[in-house]
Amino acid sequence: MSKAEASISVPAEDPKKKKEEDKEKAGEPSKVNGDVKEGDELSEEDLQLRNELEMLAERLKESNTELYRPALETLRTLIRTSTSSMTSVPKPLKFLRPHYPDLQALFETWSASEDKSLFADILSVLAMTYSDTQPRGTLRYRLISASLRPPSSPLSDPGSWGHEYVRHLAAELGEEYTAREEKGDDEAQKEGKVTGSIQDLHSLGMECATFLLEHNAEPDAVDLMEELEIVERIVELVDENTFGRVCQYMNRCVNFLPPPDDVTFLRTIHKIYLKHQRFPDALSLAIRLGDPELVREDFNAPGNPVMKRQLAFLIARAQIPYEWLQKPADEDVEITEDAEEEELPEDLVECLSNTRLSSHFKEFGKELGVLDPKSLEDVYKSHLETTRPGTAANIDSARANLAGTFVNAFVNAGFGNDKLMVEAEEGSSWIYKNKDHGMMSAAASLGLSLLWDTDVGLSHVDKYTYSSEEYIKAGSLLAIGILSTGVRTEADAPLALLGDYVDNKSVPLKSSAIAGLGLAYCASHREDILALLLPHVADDGVSMEIASLAALALGLIFVGSGNGEVAGTILQTLMEREDKALDEKWARFMALGLALLYVGLQDQSDATVETLKAISHPVAKQAQILVEVCSFAGTGNVLKVQEMLHHCDDHISTSKGKEKEKDDKKEENKDEKKEETKLDDTFQAFAVLGIALVSMGEDTGAEMSLRVFNHLMHYGEPVIRKTVPLALGLVSASNPQLNILDTLSKYSHDNDLQVALNAIFAMGLIGAGTNNAKLMQLLRQLAGYYQKEPDCLFIVRIAQGLVNMGKGTISINPFFCDRNIMSRTGIAGLLTTLMAFTDAKAFILDKYHWMLYFLTPSMAPRFLITLDEELNSMPVAVRVGQAVDVVGQAGKPRTISGFQTHSTPVRLGTTERAELATEEFIPYAPVLEGFVILRKNPGWETEDRMEI
């Protein structure tokens, strides 16, 4: 008997061994237990811990309920206090893992109580080790635990279990929410065994987000709230330490979100900035949203008059219409407006209307030493051109002089002192070296030279308005429009001077007056000009040229406003005009006028697109594509890019078999007009430009689009091939990237002269205002290469003028304020000019070379000028370098790399950023760009004294 007893007592360790074997088996699939072999290799402390944990687990299975509470609390303490290296799983979780299924079964047998809630909380932590086999266990037990607590003592914060637990919970919350969205509430609850309402998920999400925000994991918090679709509520959670990083991260997410999430994000960031009184930041978001109410509220929010001036500079740069800042007038329109006008002090009106821009710009030129006018030879440097000896260049002198007109205008833009026009002696002006329509461009070039300088400019142009030569008079009208671009004056001179000519019998005078008004009042949303121009769009009696130019001018004036009256009239005209008129080359500008109304409005253009689908003429398809891409300009919307690629995909002149089935409609058109198939493919050119327009807003998309263009160039139809270079120019305007330069340089020698022409012009756009030396060298080579091709040579000259635009001080990139805000006028100017190049033979190389001046709205000085609180120029040391993206990085990394220190005013490249090099001043604006007002840092002098 005793022997038997002895033999039984010896293997007392056995069950444990079995347990260990089971444990190893259980642990095989999961890496969790792989890092320490069980058994002998455990240290004494570990063995002791394991025995203790197993004893506690056993205790929970006993019948004595009083032991439960202390056992659970000891378990909780052991789990929470276990410290381990970052890479391994905490010991308590590892040792308790094999008991997890038993504990789960045991949990189901308990009756509801606080003890059971505590038990659920512990199981929720253990569930992390089983996440591969039992998904969303952590979340399930967490919610059960919360539901078992009495309301008086809520569950402890999830953060008390540590960071990893919160991240685990956050991941499961996102999965659960998505599952419920897809399958409906009840279905998902059955499947995932997760109880609790959506409300419970939201409140748990808020707890996790609060913890993540406190522990420098702002991106995780934003992602979690985005997954739970409650990102608006993050406004309650952020404080002054976290809001900056949260907003930065959210801002970068906007480009990658589908609508309407992107707008929700922007509005949320706007609320956060307002709450923390970051008015310039908030205003820049209101401008991006294009919301008049928000812009007005933000502008009127700060009490500090100096801050208001800073905001006024931002509004002037973004060309926000004056009317947005006034309360929408109710019954007594006139009284309200007068009262409003009085409220805005004069200094603010000055900042808002850009009247000081010209004097500051000239001052800036003087500082940089580029005030002296440049002659044509300074730009061409023709002694460096590689001409072939023995070939007499057949230079068409009128053509060469015409090119000189534009080069001179672009290079000396804004300085108002060029030798050919402004400073020329009476009678020997450059105008008379041109013929007929060349005189019109020459007279108009005066406007570009005197850009933004309304006072001096008008007196210079005035003498040409009395010319007996019709073309000179027309050019002078256009000049008045050009020099007033982006500057508002109380005198309202452009309207007074050009208004009378809109109804003139002479076509050149009429068209230049209309175009001049479009440029002068670009983005001003002026109702009085609407009444003046709209009848010309609707009138069937006027030529298509006048009607289209009027539509385009209205598109420029009401850019991004979605004005129903203008849109309705243009649509009506497209429906009612005869096919013969709509077949004209001008129809594309009418379509563009309609599209410009919707720049940046996203879904608000849907009704117009639907209406266009009902019009059978091919121009409707062109208009439809233009409206769609303008609505999503700069958003990087992937679906729109795909849609445009589909349009490029149709080989229109090929056999029917290859046509996509979806294009039945187009096939019908083809049967009807076999001989007119050529007409139908213009829309593809617009689709190619559309890809560039949509993806130019963010760097990743822009980079991806380059590859797409490469494919289109290989496999596209001629109409697509000739538009690809223009699209490349649009994607990277004023931003000469080497890879794009090389591509364009290759295309500029293409066999198809149309492609070559557009590639040369695109080289001009890419380098506009950068003085890029490599680019100038390439253009000089091209000038030698094309010396016998007057058309190409003409464009080479213009490209040389663009690269030296404003002697390197002016940019045409439509993005500003750290490349966050898209200037709608900038987009409008670029698109209109590129539109003329979609058929260069018919416009730019014909009589309509003056359309190059449509670039004016997108021209803006690329400077940083620091002002004191009285708005006087104040030189300060700043560092200028390449902008670095530091979103989501830990600590305070440098935001610029490879910087140089300069004294303001300084010139900023497209991808450059500036920061103050001293702490003596505090800027009112967060982004150092354009005009920035500084104030003395009150704590600065005291620090200085301490050092002494």
Q: What's the full length of the chain, in residues? A: 948
pLDDT band at 454 (very low <50, low <70, confident <90, very high): confident
pLDDT band at 145 (very low <50, low <70, confident <90, very high): confident
Mean pLDDT of 819-841: 92
Distance CA 659, CA 649 (A): 9
Q: What is the pLDDT of residue 372?
A: 86
CATH of domain 633-650+679-860: 1.25.10.10
Q: What is the pLDDT of residue 140?
A: 86
One-letter amino acid for residue 465 of the chain: T
Radius of gyration of the chain (CA): 35
- Hunting for tokens 């298509």 — which residue is that? 544
Distance CA 734, CA 811 (A): 6
Mean pLDDT of 849-877: 91
| 599 in Cβ contact with 832 (< 8 Å) | no
pLDDT band at 697 (very low <50, low <70, confident <90, very high): confident
Q: What is the pLDDT of residue 268?
A: 94
Q: Is it the case that residue 933 has pLDDT exceeding 90?
A: yes
- What one-character DSSP code corresponds to residue 819? T
**CATH topology agreement for domains 354-386+394-521 and 633-650+679-860:** yes
Query: What kind and span of H or E run contains 902?
Result: strand 896-903
Q: Is it the case that residue 678 has pLDDT exceeding 50?
A: no
Percent of the chain's residues with pLDDT above 90: 34
Torsion of CA 166, 167, 168, 169, to 10 degrees: 50
Mean pLDDT of 560-580: 90
Q: What is the pLDDT of residue 14?
A: 47
Distance CA 151, CA 117 (A): 13
Least confident range from 149-163, 773-787, 850-864, 885-899: namely 149-163
| 734 in Cβ contact with 768 (< 8 Å) | yes
What's the pLDDT tens digit per position in 757-789?
999 999 999 999 999 999 999 999 999 898 888
Give the pair of three-digit tokens for residue 97.
Answer: 């893992």
What's the pLDDT tens digit per position in 631-671?
999 888 889 999 999 988 877 654 333 333 333 333 333 33
Give every CB contact of residue 243 below 8 A, 6+ residues apart in sequence. 272, 273, 275, 276
Distance CA 832, CA 779 (A): 24
Percent of the chain's residues with pLDDT above 70: 88
Residue 490 dihedral angles phi and psi, to the nearest 5°: -70, -30
What's the pLDDT tens digit per position in 477-532?
999 999 889 888 877 888 888 888 888 888 889 999 999 999 999 988 888 889 89
Distance CA 714, CA 536 (A): 42
What's the pLDDT tens digit per position in 50-77?
888 888 888 888 877 787 888 888 888 8
Distance CA 467, CA 592 (A): 33
CA distances from 629 to 34, 633, 638 (A): 55, 6, 12
What is the DSSP annotation of 772-796? -HHHHHHHHHHHHHTTT-HHHHHHH
Q: Collapse the DSSP code of 932 into the 3-class scheme (helix H, G, I; strand E, B; otherwise coil) and give the result.
A: strand
Mean pLDDT of 268-278: 93
CA distances from 330 to 327, 334, 335, 337 (A): 9, 10, 10, 10
Distance CA 25, CA 27 (A): 5
Q: Which residue has the higher pLDDT, 692 or 27?
A: 692
Torsion of CA 331, 336, 337, 341, to 10 degrees: -170
pLDDT band at 86 (very low <50, low <70, confident <90, very high): low
Distance CA 823, CA 205 (A): 37
Could you state, in order of their start, the residue ranges of all structural domains in the chain? 46-295, 354-386+394-521, 525-630, 633-650+679-860, 863-936
Write the burial class of residue 500 (CB in 10 Å: 0-12 exposed, 13-18 middle, 19+ buried). exposed
What is the CATH architecture assignment of 354-386+394-521?
Alpha Horseshoe (1.25)
pLDDT band at 99 (very low <50, low <70, confident <90, very high): confident
Q: What is the pLDDT of residue 505?
A: 86
Distance CA 862, CA 817 (A): 11
This prediction's pTM: 0.86
Mean pLDDT of 891-896: 85
Q: Which residue, 425, 415, 420, 433, is CA-closest to 483?
A: 415
Q: What is the pLDDT of residue 7?
A: 45
Query: What kind and span of H or E run contains 21?
Result: helix 14-27
Buried b (16+ CB within 10 A) or exposed e, 336-362: eeeeeeeebeeebeebbbbbbbbebbb
Give the pair of three-digit tokens for residue 262.
Answer: 């992107």
User: Which residues pair with residue 815 across a beta bridge?
Assistant: 822
Mean pLDDT of 696-720: 90
Q: Collapse the DSSP code of 155 into the 3-class scheme (helix H, G, I; strand E, B; otherwise coil) and give the result.
A: coil
User: Which residues pair with residue 907 across a beta bridge?
Assistant: 863
Distance CA 124, CA 323 (A): 58
Q: Which residue, 607, 603, 647, is CA-closest to 625?
A: 647
Q: What is the pLDDT of residue 85?
A: 59
| 259 in Cβ contact with 631 (< 8 Å) | no
Q: What is the pLDDT of residue 391?
A: 52
Q: What is the pLDDT of residue 84?
A: 58
| 656 in Cβ contact with 667 (< 8 Å) | yes
Q: Which residue has the higher pLDDT, 385 or 145?
A: 145
| 450 in Cβ contact with 806 (< 8 Å) | no
Mean pLDDT of 463-472: 86
What's the pLDDT tens digit per position in 239-251?
988 899 999 999 9
Give the pair of three-digit tokens for residue 75.
Answer: 């378990």
Give the chain's mean pLDDT. 83
Q: Which residue, 646, 680, 668, 838, is CA-closest to 761?
A: 838
pLDDT band at 387 (very low <50, low <70, confident <90, very high): low
- Hunting for tokens 């060309």 — which residue is that? 319
Q: Is it the case that residue 278 has pLDDT exceeding 80?
A: yes
